[in-house]
A = this chain, B = another copy of it.
């Protein structure tokens, strides 16, 4: 979690605009000219690429305080879309770059943030490679639970704002396999899917064991 000094916060506020968007809005498309960097203030965003085969590969979900707008050669790498109604902070890329060049301490926070994301990305890449569908889904629920926990909410109760097919695209399974994997987690008494967008971890010990059994 990044903490900023009040001065840093103020510098950022000065070059940022708040944006509210309804669910399913495309924020930007892959290959579009990258003019803005975003931070999630409220809600959930997904970042993905549609592959030639028709499959959609979901690179990452973005939650409160996450930054996004990664570009390469001035073009966005992924397409991003609001999963639910969202509020975003939008920064002009050039202004932000200028600010970072001047304020080494602020830039350092960004460096920490990106480094953290890199770690997470590598970790996910490793975990996602496990072969069993049930384990993959458990891992995903564990990731979401960790996020909830660090946001200070009571754990055990895990919000899943995204759809099953988003989950499928993220963990690299078919939609049907995700469904069967959830059924399996319920049958084994580890997780209860209380509604479409809410899971509850029932047997923490056994659940963690499954997650760790990579």
Contacts and interface: CB of A to CB of B under 8 A. Distances in A.
Nearest to A108: B101
A212 B101 CA distance: 37
Contacts of A77: 119, 122-123
Interface in A68-104: 70, 72, 77-78, 100-104
Interface in A45-71: 49, 51-53, 55, 57, 59-60, 70
A31 interface: no
Interface in A197-214: 212-214
Contacts of A128: 125, 128-129
Interface size of A as a range: 35 or more
A107 B104 CA distance: 7
Contact of A213 (B52, B118, B126, B129): B52
A25 interface: no
Interface string A98-141: 00111111011011001101110111111011000000000000
Nearest to A121: B121
A43 interface: no
A133 B73 CA distance: 31
What is the total number of copies of this protein in its complex?
2
A172 interface: yes
Contacts of A103: 104
Nearest to A51: B214
Contacts of A59: 122, 125-126
B49 A126 contact: yes
Contacts of A78: 122
Q: Give the interface centre of A70, A77, A121, A124 by most chain B CB atoms within 10 Å.
A: A121
A214 B117 contact: no
Interface of A: 49, 51-53, 55, 57, 59-60, 70, 72, 77-78, 100-105, 107-108, 110-111, 114-115, 117-119, 121-126, 128-129, 172, 212-214
Given A53-B213, A57-B129, A129-B172, 5 more contacts: A59-B125, A103-B104, A107-B108, A118-B118, A125-B128
